[in-house]
Amino acid sequence: MDKNGFAGFSHLSKESKALLFRYGALRETIGRSENAVFSLGGEYYIKFSRDTLSLKAEKDRAIWLENKVIAPRVVDYREYTDDCGKGGYLLTTAVKGIRACDEVFLKSPDRLISRLAEAMAVFHALDSASCPFFAERSDHEEKTTVCHGDFCLPNILFTERSQGFVDVGDLGKGDPWLDYAWCLWSLDYNLKTPLYRPKLLKALGIEFDEARYRRYTEE
């Protein structure tokens, strides 16, 4: 058992254990985080982390997003201490849809770019005046947009008519280029070429800002 994963199941609440026994747990392999994330039958997700400050930040932001966009809904949250130190878990509902990094979209870059631009517009239309959080990764003086904070393809999910957002722990008011930069970087990374970058810039309605792009992607 690793310190972030299966050992944490013993700390689950009675209600969360019932969901675990009902659906079982399959570990997620997408992403670079050191956290341990498990799918419970594709209906719920549970994240174990030793970084309880970040975990709580994600929980608070997910709660704020409720009824604003399609995003995980918080079901259970708990912090605990065990032999490995302090830890915690966040149990949320699953967001339905296909990840933007799935082959079904990568094989149709123009369609993918159009959907990404739509998703960006939906998120950036959130009311920044009512948002109590600031994007810590945004160091530009402009902080007028509610940013996702990690707008990479694995964190955006599409259905035929809608878009959903996951991994919202970095959400906050900030420079919109925080999201633009990571979306551009992630598109290049997943398509394995920068050739589609101009099309995404056009779809987003912006000009390339190399200084701000490098500021965020080379941190």
**pLDDT per position as a tens digit, 64-120:** 999 999 999 999 999 998 877 899 999 999 999 999 999 999 999 999 999 999 999
C-alpha–C-alpha distance, residues 219 and 211, integer Å: 12
Rounded to 5°, angle at Cα 176 from 102 and 150: 40
- The per-residue pLDDT for 7 is 67
pTM of the model: 0.89
CB-CB neighbours of 149 under 10 Å: 22
Q: In 3D, which of 125, 163, 117 has the Cα closest to residue 147?
A: 125
Q: Is the pLDDT of residue 151 over 50?
A: yes
Q: Is the pLDDT of residue 31 over 70?
A: no
- Residue given tokens 């099309």 in the structure block: 199
Q: What is the CATH superfamily name and number for domain 6-93?
A: Phosphorylase Kinase; domain 1 (3.30.200.20)
What CATH number matches the domain at 98-217, 3.20.20.190, 3.90.1200.10, 1.10.760.10, 3.40.640.10? 3.90.1200.10
Question: For the chain, which residues make up each domain, given as ranges?
Answer: 6-93, 98-217
- Residue given tokens 């970058």 in the structure block: 197
The torsion angles phi and psi of 208, rounded to 5 degrees, stand at -70, 130
Q: What is the mean pLDDT of residues 181-197?
A: 97
Q: What is the mean pLDDT of residues 124-135?
A: 95
Judge whether 115 and 199 are in contact, CB under 8 Å.
Answer: no
